[in-house]
Structure 1
Amino acid sequence: MQRIEYSAEIAELLGRIRRRPAAGWPWRPAEEVPPWLPVKQSWGWLFAPDGRVLTLVNPKDGVVSLPGGSLEAEDGGDPGAALAREAGEEAQAVIGPAHYLGYLYDRIGSANNGNECARVRMAAALRSVGPSRPDPASGRHYRRLLVAPGLAVELLGWGTPGLRQARAAVRVAVERLGVPAAANEVIEELPMGGCVVFPEG
């Protein structure tokens, strides 16, 4: 088994990680969202060429997340467009075409004024990131880490349901993006100044 490697600075950051309690939303892999169920959020597993994915850490409270968020009017109802916009706002990320994985059924509707809704999950290539800056919507200034998908599940605190979601994302990424099924396990923080991650072609 490969030893997980990371710097002293990342070790200090990981020591402050706070996992959110699992929401318990049922995962509907590969199922299309029913026409009667509104899609309110879109979040993405964004892959580097070595199979690692982008996770965002808020250093103020230690909460880890995947890039993504709520659909806005400008997205035209397209979860892929919402993911691309949110990834740009939160992580200054440029992504490739988004591939649909499935959705989480939120019967309580915490993202929809108490009415049931869908929270879509997608996979895409992480092409590049620009210079780090705060999210214009929240003011949060995220740290951007590349981690193996299984470790992302652990940092997110999603447990077994999250692992099933990560496996679905990896399958699509292997088939569509050509990444390895066994990801590099080094934890790496992306440069504050930005960089190319997954060159096109």
Structure 2
Amino acid sequence: MYKVFVNDKPLFLTNKISKETDFQIFLLESVDIKQLIVQIYQNKIHQASLYHPDEKEIMKTLKAKIPVNKAGGGLVYNKKGEVLFIFRNGKWDLPKGGTEKGESIEGTAMREVEEETGVNLLRITNKLQKTYHVFKRNGVFKLKITHWFEMQSDFEGIPQGQLDEGIEKVAWFKPEDIPEALKNSYENIKLLFEEEKSLHPKI
């Protein structure tokens, strides 16, 4: 199953029809995907499932209907085991950004962490899941697919937020403070930390 967030509300791409009645189920063959996304975006639908026996076919169709933006991001630990967060648009987030021509996705993730936070001396320690969300820019819906990497950094300076990207604060959070930060974060970021908990039970 894929979870695609539209305006922070989930659209499940699934090959199973579940019996829950709290969200609507749409069939890939008969749905207008763009119209469905508009309805979720406008809060007319709060969560929905898009069904087809082959989940990959649903993702393929979604990518064909909506332009894709590929991005890379980092869940970065320092030597003390703290995690790097940025504060932008009123929420705690993790550093990430779009890939540049000819750049590997790992290279994108490391460059974006450094540009958005000033934190360098990075090394990738784990490949994490991809997250999916739909956003609207200049009246056009786009599907952002973010490839996430767990990283370690030996940086010991003071992080600096990239102001022209709207980053107001950069902070290292101790593991015990992360749940509080996640209360004011995005659903995709919460998903990442669910995965991270299974890798690092202390989080």
Q: Indicate the TM-score class for this superposition, using the shorter chain for normalisation.
A: 0.5 to 0.7
Local SS of the residue matching 1:93: coil
Q: Is the 8 A contact 1:39 1:120 kept in 2?
A: no
Larger Rg: 2
- Residue 170 of structure 2 aligns with which residue? 143
- Residue 31 of structure 1 aligns with which residue? none
Deviation at 1:91, TM superposition (A): 1.0
TM-score by length of 1: 0.54
- Residue 152 of structure 2 aligns with which residue? 125
Local SS of the residue matching 2:141: coil
> In the alignment, which of 92, 102, 116 is matched to residue 143 of structure 2?
116
CA distance in 1, matches of 2:69, 2:127: 13
RMSD: 3.7
Identity percentage of aligned residues? 14
Local SS of the residue matching 1:54: strand
Deviations 1:119-157 (A, max 9, x none): 222211132154444527536453323242433422314
Q: Is the 8 A contact 1:42 1:83 kept in 2?
A: yes
CA distance in 1, matches of 2:194, 2:124: 19
1:26–1:98 CA distance, 2 compared to 1 (3 A) = farther
Local SS of the residue matching 2:202: coil
CA distance in 2, matches of 1:103, 1:25: 15
Deviation at 1:66, TM superposition (A): 0.8
1:132–1:109 CA distance, 2 compared to 1 (3 A) = closer
Local SS of the residue matching 1:42: strand
Instruction: Spell out the pairing of 1:150-189 with structure 2 (5 A cutoff).
Output: 150-158=179-187, 162-172=189-199, 174=200, 181-183=201-203
Q: Which has the higher contact order (CA 8 A, sep 6+)?
A: 1
The total of aligned residue pairs comes to 145
Instruction: Spell out the pairing of 1:1-201 with structure 2 (5 A cutoff).
Output: 23-24=8-9, 38=68, 40-58=70-88, 62-73=90-101, 76-94=102-120, 95-97=122-124, 99-106=126-133, 108=134, 110=136, 114-135=141-162, 137-138=164-165, 140-148=167-175, 149-158=178-187, 162-172=189-199, 174=200, 181-183=201-203
Deviations 1:91-139 (A, max 9, x none): 1112211522111233x4647x534342222211132154444527536
1:57–1:153 CA distance, 2 compared to 1 (3 A) = same
CA distance in 1, matches of 2:161, 2:80: 27
Q: Is the 8 A contact 1:54 1:147 kept in 2?
A: no
